Structure 1
Amino acid sequence: MAQHLIALDLDGTTLNNQSKLTNETIITLRALARDGHIVSIITGRPYRIAKHIYDEIGIKTPMVNFNGALTHIPHEHWDKEYDVELTRELALDLLAHHKELGIKTITVENKHHVWANQASNDLPEFLPNKLRDDQILTATNLTDNPIAMTIQYEPEHQEEIIKAVNEKYGDFVEPRVWGGSYNILELIHRGTHKESGMFYIAKQYQIDRQNIIAFGDEHNDLEMLDAAGRGVAMHNAIPELKSIANDITPIDNEHNGLAKYLRDYFKITI
């Protein structure tokens, strides 16, 4: 079979409901990598909370973080690495007005650093629950432009925050509401989605669109699955994703649905 790019969302897709990789998934992905396919994690997660998953799988291929705003090869100096930044001004402006806008926690990140106005215990894996003094979001500490910002807000203020961001920064910032029960708004550079990173990796390995297979389950996977040669929605995916997908896994993420689908599709045995 021709070399494929296998583009993997993490949460709700490659990971089970405990945010873990199963042995079956690891063995399957390693087998595909050994066969010469490019297995790439393409996630909304920051690098700081996706690195251990990449390492556990044991791949050496490019990875996409922040929904397409960072593409890199972990632990390597890759001359094709790129990121798409926001501005320091945006972060400090939101910080200055966070109380009146109903913002609880502002988390600002680039590849290696995270800053926040306060620690949060609400989503300990995603929002920092401990901050060093140099990680507190201030004009002094925030020395670089960030790649992504995550805003935890009071639910009744959602539209107000989106309106404020769009009015002042809408020419280059795209606010995206997280799915599920979280009151989280993510800000990334306008037009930057997972498919940007997916196609960038495909280009580096000269893989045609028809040989890209992408998996996902949520709103932030829509562009990626729609653009891939074969977009596969998880059994547990949202209805909007299933409606645009080329296929749906018969089994959900809690029961190795991704691994089983890949083994059937690529005819591998483990």
Structure 2
Amino acid sequence: MERKLIAIDLDGTTLNNESKISSYTKEVLQKAAQAGHIVSIVTGRPNRISENFYDELNIPTPMINFNGALGHIPHKNWDKEYIETFSKDIALDLVAEKEKLGIKIVAAESKNYALADQPNNIIPDFFPATLKANEVLNAINLQKDPSAMTMLVDEHKLPNIVETLKANFGDKITVGVWGGKNPILELSPKGVNKAKGVDFLAKTYNIDKKNIIAFGDEHNDASMIDYAGWGVVMQNGTDKLKSLANDITEYDNEHDGLARYLEDYLKLA
């Protein structure tokens, strides 16, 4: 079998509902790597809350974070590493205008920092529960352009906020709306998405598009599911994403849907 690039999303895909990798999933992914395939995590998560999974899988390939804005090999200086950002002025503008717009919490981050305007416990990890003085999002602490911003907003004002962001900064950023119960907006550098990260991996390893298999479940996976030669959507994925899929796993993320599919697809059993 030709060498495959296997691009795996984390939440709702590789991880179960307790945000853990099952021993079976880990075993299958390691088997795929041992068979010579390139297994790479491609996630919306920041590196600070995904390197633990990278270390647990113990497959030394590059990881893509921030939905395609960062490509790197954790714990290493790598000459091919890339990072995409947008102007920090946008973050500071949004902090200044947050009450007026209906934004409750603002966080901005990149590879080496994470800042938020206030601590909270709404979504553990994504927003910090405690903040040191140098972790508060303000003009003093925000010295470098961010790769991503995450905002909790007023549910009723969400459509207006999206319109305002697109009108004011649409040439510099892409606005994403999270699925799930919390009204969360995510800002990325314009033109950056998971497909960009997967394309970078394919070029790095000289793998043809037809040999890329990608697994995902949510709206931010759409570009990579569409881009891959074989886009597989989880049983628990959104209907919209399933409409882009080449195939859908028989089992969901709680029942090792990715691993069962991959073991069969690559004939690893």
- 1:225 maps to a residue whose letter is I
- 1:222 maps to a residue whose letter is A
2:146 aligned counterpart, secondary structure = coil
C-alpha distance in 2, partners of 1:142/1:190?
20
Per the TM alignment, residue 163 of structure 1 is displaced from its structure 2 partner at its CA by 2.1
What does 1:34-183 align with in structure 2 at a 5 Å threshold?
Answer: 34-183=34-183
Per the TM alignment, residue 130 of structure 1 is displaced from its structure 2 partner at its CA by 1.3
What does the per-residue CA deviation read over 1:11-46, in whole Å, with 9 as the maximum and x for residues that have no partner?
110000111000001111111111111100000001
Q: Could you tell me the TM-score, scaled by structure 1's length?
A: 0.98
Aligned to 1:188: 188
Per the TM alignment, residue 200 of structure 1 is displaced from its structure 2 partner at its CA by 0.5
Aligned to 2:212: 212
Aligned to 2:236: 236
Q: Could you tell me the TM-score, scaled by structure 2's length?
A: 0.98
1:89 aligned counterpart, secondary structure = helix
Per the TM alignment, residue 9 of structure 1 is displaced from its structure 2 partner at its CA by 0.5
- 2:98 maps to a residue whose letter is H
2:243 aligned counterpart, secondary structure = helix
C-alpha distance in 1, partners of 2:185/2:215?
23
RMSD value, Cα? 0.8
Unmatched 5+ stretches in structure 1:
none
Shifted more, 75-84 versus 206-215: the winner is 75-84
1:108 aligned counterpart, secondary structure = strand
Unmatched 5+ stretches in structure 2:
none
Aligned to 2:221: 221
C-alpha distance in 1, partners of 2:240/2:184?
20
C-alpha distance in 1, partners of 2:109/2:117?
12
Shifted more, 163-172 versus 115-124: the winner is 163-172
What does the per-residue CA deviation read over 1:140-176, in whole Å, with 9 as the maximum and x for residues that have no partner?
1111111100011110111222122122211111111
Aligned to 2:250: 250
Per the TM alignment, residue 102 of structure 1 is displaced from its structure 2 partner at its CA by 1.1
